[in-house]
């Protein structure tokens, strides 16, 4: 399992968000990995272990909503976080066309 996982839930429909594109990069913009959420809105992204430092996980939310025929305000959502040790990192988002929230999951 990758060091980093995510789960995207579509709050507007009350269902997981499959097919959301993901980009993982260093805070300076160096691309590390890409991925896509599965049918349950989940994905593992990146290597088995991230080096300590700051990273950005970008969720391609605009493309997800466009594919569903839904107008949305955010073309993408970027969540920047710090990896400080070997503990598993889980960065979920709760998504709607006009809002999102995130937290440090387990």
User: How far is residue 58's CA from residue 60's CA, in Å, rounded to a whole number?
Assistant: 6
Residue 60: CB atoms within 10 A of its CB come to 19
Question: Domain count of the chain?
Answer: 1
User: How far is residue 71's CA from residue 82's CA, in Å, rounded to a whole number?
Assistant: 32
pLDDT score at 2: 86
pLDDT score at 84: 93
Instruction: Check pLDDT > 80 for residue 10.
Output: yes
pLDDT score at 106: 87
What the block records as the tokens of 41 is: 């809105």
Among 85, 98, 5, residue whose Cα is nearest residue 45: 5
Question: What is this structure's pTM?
Answer: 0.95
Look up residue 62 and give its DSSP letter: H
User: How far is residue 69's CA from residue 4's CA, in Å, rounded to a whole number?
Assistant: 30
How does pLDDT run across 27-82, given as a tens digit for each residue?
A: 899 999 999 999 999 999 999 999 999 999 999 999 999 999 999 999 999 999 99
Residue span of the structural domain in which 89 resides: 4-102
Look up residue 13 and give its DSSP letter: T
Instruction: Check pLDDT > 80 for residue 104.
Output: yes
Any idea what the CATH number is for the domain that residue 35 is in?
Answer: 2.60.40.180
């Amino acid at each position: 399992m990758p060091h980093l996982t995510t789960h995207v839930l579509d709050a507007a429909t009350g269902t997981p968000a499959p097919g959301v594109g993901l980009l993982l990069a260093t805070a300076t913009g160096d691309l590390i990995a890409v991925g896509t959420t599965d049918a349950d809105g989940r994905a593992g992204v990146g290597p088995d272990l991230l080096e300590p430092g700051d990273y950005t996980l970008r969720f391609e939310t605009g493309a997800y909503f466009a594919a569903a025929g839904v107008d949305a305000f955010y073309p993408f959502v970027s969540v920047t976080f710090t990896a400080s040790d070997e503990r598993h990192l889980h960065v979920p988002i709760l998504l709607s066309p006009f809002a999102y929230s995130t937290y440090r999951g387990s």
